[in-house]
Amino acid sequence: MNLDAHPQHAGTKPFRLVVTGGGTGGHTYPALTAVRTLRAALAASGRGLDVLWVGTAEGLEAKVAAAEGIPFATVATGKIRRSANPLKLASPANVRDMFRVLRGIVQARRLVADYAPDVVLATGGYVAVPVGRAAQRCGAPLVVHEQTVRLGLANRVLARSAARIAVSSDSTVPLLPEAARARAVVTGNPVRPEVFHGRPDKAVEALGLYGFDRSLPTVYVTGGAQGSLQINTVVQDLLPWLLERANVVHQCGAAHADGLRARAAELPAHLAGRYLVTPFVGPELPDVLALADVVLSRSGAGTIAELTALGKASVLVPLASSAGNEQAHNAGHLQNAGAAVALLGEVTPDTLRTAVEPLLMDPARRADMAHRARAHGRPDAADRLVDVLLDAATGR
C-alpha cells in the first residue's frame, strides 16, 4: 500500500470510516484487520482515523469493537429465510423481519448522515444490508468485501449499488451481477499479520511438545473455537494409525477435551507423546501453524485465507450447515486447483485415512500442495483492501 498514490488524503483532518458487518468471525475479523491496517497507514502519513462500527448488540462484532475501543452503534435487522416456494417467502417470520430491515435502514440512514463518513465498508451479514442501503441514500461511497468464493446474500443485495466490490478470488467476479463486474477488485481476504510471524520452536516450548518426533510430519487438527464433533470423532477413531505416521496437535473445543484425553491415556507411551489435546489454541496459533505440515480443518473463509497465505497442505471438512453451503464451495475450489483435499461426502476414518496418508508419506506431494495453496493466497489482502477504500473515498 502506498499513500503517495492518494494525495487527496494529505492533511490533518481524520479519515472517517463506517464499518458494518458481523454476526460471525468470518465477517468480523477481516473488517477489524482492515481497520487496523488503515489506521497504521494513515498514522504513518500523519493522519488519524475515526471509525464507527454499526452492527447488532448480540453479534460478535459488538465484542470485537469494544475490545478494540471502536465506537459502536446498533440498528434493527432481520434474517430473510430463502425458499424456492414463493408462499414460504411470505411467512410471518419473513414479513416481520422485512419490516425490521426497513426500520434498520431508517436508523442507519440517520447514523450515516450524522457521521458523514468518507467511505462505508460492508463485510457481510444481515446487518450490512440496512447500513449499505443507507450509504447509498446518503451519497457515501460503499465498498463491499466478500470473503467467500460465492457472494453471500447480503453482499449480493448490496453489490449493485456499491462503488467497489472487493472479492477474495478471481472465481468470484463472473458470479457478480454483470453490471457490477467492472467495479470488482480482487483483493483477497485480510489475514491477521501476526499469523505470518510464527516459529515452530516457540510452539514446542509453549505447548510442551517435547515428546514429538520431529522427523515425522506434524498435523494440526482444528474445528474452530468450539471444536467439531465430526472432526474429533473421526480423528479419535484413527488415532493409533495416525500417530504411527505423524505428530498431532488437536484443538478440540472445551466440550470434547475430557473424552479425547481419556482416549489418549489408552495409547502406548510412544504414541501418546506425539499427541497433544488442547481445548483452545490462543496466542500461540501462529507458531502452531508454522509447525504444522498438514492442517485438518473446516473450510470457512478466514481459515482458507490463512492456509493459502501461509501455503499449507490441508484436508478440509466443510461445515454442512454453513450458509449457502459456502464452506463446500471454498473447499471444492481449492481441491480443483490441487491446493487442498476436500472431504465433501460422508467423512469416516477410512475416508480421512485415504485423504491424509499420501500427504504424510510423500513429502514431495505435500510440498506441491503447499505450493499450489500459496499460489491462491494473498498475504497483502489487507493492504489491497485499504487501497480500495481510499480510492472509493476519492472517487477514483
pLDDT tens-digit series, residues 238-279: 999 999 999 999 999 999 999 999 999 999 999 999 999 999
Q: Could you give the angle at the alpha carbon of 53 between the alpha carbons of 6 and 137, nearest 5°?
A: 75
The total number of structural domains that make up the chain? 2
Max CA distance (Å), the chain: 67
DSSP element (H, E) containing 197: none
Q: Are residues 161 and 198 in the same domain?
A: no
The pLDDT tens digits of the residues spanning 322-371 come to 766 889 999 999 999 999 999 998 999 999 999 999 999 999 999 999 99
First to last CA, the chain: 15
pLDDT mean over 197-215:
97
Give the model confidence (pLDDT) of 269-324 as tens digits. Answer: 999 999 999 999 999 999 999 999 999 999 999 999 999 999 999 999 998 877 66
Whole-number pLDDT of residue 237: 96
Residues 100 and 171 in one domain: yes
Q: What is the spatial distance between Cα 47 and Cα 36, in angstroms, rounded to a whole number?
A: 14
| pTM for this prediction | 0.87
Q: Tell me, yes or no, whether 336 and 198 share the same domain.
A: yes
Residues 358 and 254 in one domain: yes
Cβ atoms of 200 and 235 within 8 Å: the answer is: no
Residues 240, 278 within the same domain: yes
Please give the grid coordinates belonging to residue 181. 463486474
**pLDDT the model gives residue 24:** 84
Residues 6+ apart with CB under 8 A from 7: none
Name the residue range of residue 91's domain: 3-191+379-393
